[in-house]
Amino acid sequence: MAKRDFYDILGVAKGATAEEIKKAYRKKAIQFHPDKNPDNKEAEDKFKEAAGAYEVLSNAEKKQRYDQYGHAGVDGQGGFSGGGGMNMDDIFSHFGDIFGGGGGGGRSGGSPFESFFGGGNRGGGSRQAVGSNIRIKLKLNLEDVTNGVEKKIKYKKKVVAKGVTFDTCGTCGGQGQVTRVQNTFLGQMQTASPCPTCQGMGKKIKNVPPGADGMGLITEEVTTTINIPAGVADGMQLNVRGKGNEMPGGVAGDLIVLVEEAKHESLERDGNNIIFNLHISFPQAALGADIEVPTVTGKARIKIEAGTHSGKVLRLRGKGIPDVNGYGPGDQLIYVNVYTPKKLSTEEKAIMKQLLDAENFTPDPSKERGFFDKMKDFFN
């Protein structure tokens, strides 16, 4: 099923400000919140859908990728990072910013909707610590970005060693956070922050096996398979969730793959179009010819009309790169360049001199600019 547009989900225009996006999300979150719609699967799905849209549109970098590449630019699973695959803890972690409550931070937390609907604490328990992200570069050729490709990536990451055991943190009692009460002129103010002893894990490492570091981690080489969608561009980042460094008692970070495009020997990318510079001889331009040109998928034959001038652009429709948003492929543009020799043999010079005064070779300013005029402009 096709994914809905994030702006449509929140009911805002594409040019909406950050404040308008936040306000729209707050309205949707209240409308479809599970505490207000118990046992309503449709409302829960819309609640998650709105949260996924807000996660992308509230982040300047993700919003820019979404505006440029659509859902393919922010897909989370085996694709680009985005709103997909969020759980309820992820969703509630945004609410501190939206409602001014204390639900932010980590991957769990209390629901700020308690003050709206009288609901209980959905997050409960300790917040989860998250491992660090791993960033690697992946070089793709023009065929890869045109057709899409499955790649196996081998890299090193930190994993929890076998034999690591834990004790409940004595500072926070396994909650992962500590609460401070301060007296102010408004009364007592209560704030919560990650436990400084266990770093929000709620646990302390009890036993570290030999060869592991102080966190109970060892370095291993792993292989991960990712699917690269057709139409990706140089500089785009692929976010593979949960494939980064592990965290004892927590969740793994992400694997962030930076796409690099390798230069093709004869073709050049220009957005979704592919450019090929075709060089033909003067006789071919004057008489016409059938010429074979390279494409991303192989070769194609094109017809050069008699009288073709330098600078003419021929188009192979649909032979470009697919749009990452799914709007269809670009074209292959063939720029014709007519070669003018600098050195001529005695026989060749004699032939050219015979053509100097020929009617068809004499420029006529009163008519449409001909082949020679345009060729002169091209080489000047």
β-strand partners of 256: 135, 239
Exposure string over 53-78, b if 16+ CB within 10 A, otherwise e: bbbbbbbeebbebbeebbbbbbbbeb
Over range 358-375, report the average pLDDT.
63
Say what the pLDDT of residue 361 is.
75
Tell the burial category of 280 from Cβ atoms under 10 Å away from its Cβ (0-12, 13-18, 19+). middle
Say what the pLDDT of residue 104 is.
39
The shares of helix, strand and coil residues in the chain, as percent rounded to the nearest 5, are 25, 30, 45
Say what the pLDDT of residue 71 is.
78
Say what the pLDDT of residue 223 is.
94
Q: Domains, the chain, ranges and CATH? A: 1-125 (1.10.287.110), 268-379 (2.60.260.20)
Q: What would the pLDDT profile of 25-49 be if each residue is shown by its tens digit?
A: 988 888 888 777 777 888 888 988 9
Handedness of CA 114, 92, 68, 72 (dihedral sign): negative
Q: What would the pLDDT profile of 318-338 be if each residue is shown by its tens digit?
A: 999 998 877 789 999 999 999
Answer yes or no: are the C-beta atoms of 119 and 111 closer than 8 Å: yes
Task: Give the separation between CA 59 and CA 64, rounded to whole angstroms.
Answer: 8
Q: What would the pLDDT profile of 275-301 be if each residue is shown by its tens digit?
A: 999 999 988 998 999 999 999 989 999
Say what the pLDDT of residue 186 is.
63
Spell out the long-range contacts of 181-190 with Cβ–Cβ below 8 A and sequence spacing 24 or more.
none
Say what the pLDDT of residue 91 is.
52
118 Rama class: left (phi>0) / alpha (psi -120 to 50) / beta = left
Q: What angle do CA 74, 80, 82 make, to 5 degrees?
A: 40
pLDDT above 90: percentage of residues in the chain: 31
Q: What would the pLDDT profile of 195-247 be if each residue is shown by its tens digit?
A: 888 777 777 878 888 888 887 899 999 999 998 988 998 888 888 889 999 98
The structure tokens listed for 191 are 């704030």
Exposure string over 3-40, b if 16+ CB within 10 A, otherwise e: beebbebbebeeebeeeebbebbbebbbebbbebbeee
Using alpha carbons, select from 290, 286, 157 the residue that is nearest to residue 224. 157
127 confidence band (pLDDT: 50, 70, 90):
low
Using alpha carbons, select from 220, 263, 225, 256 the residue that is nearest to residue 239. 256
Q: Is the pLDDT of residue 151 over 90?
A: yes
Over range 269-275, report the average pLDDT.
93
Task: Give the separation between CA 102 and CA 127, rounded to whole angstroms.
Answer: 13
- Give the position of tokens 């499955």: 150
Task: Give the separation between CA 212 and CA 205, rounded to whole angstroms.
Answer: 12
Say what the pLDDT of residue 289 is.
93
Which contiguous run of DSSP H or E holds residue 22? helix 18-32
Say what the pLDDT of residue 110 is.
39
Over range 370-380, report the average pLDDT.
49
pLDDT above 70: percentage of residues in the chain: 79
pTM > 0.85: yes or no: no
Q: Is the pLDDT of residue 121 over 50?
A: no
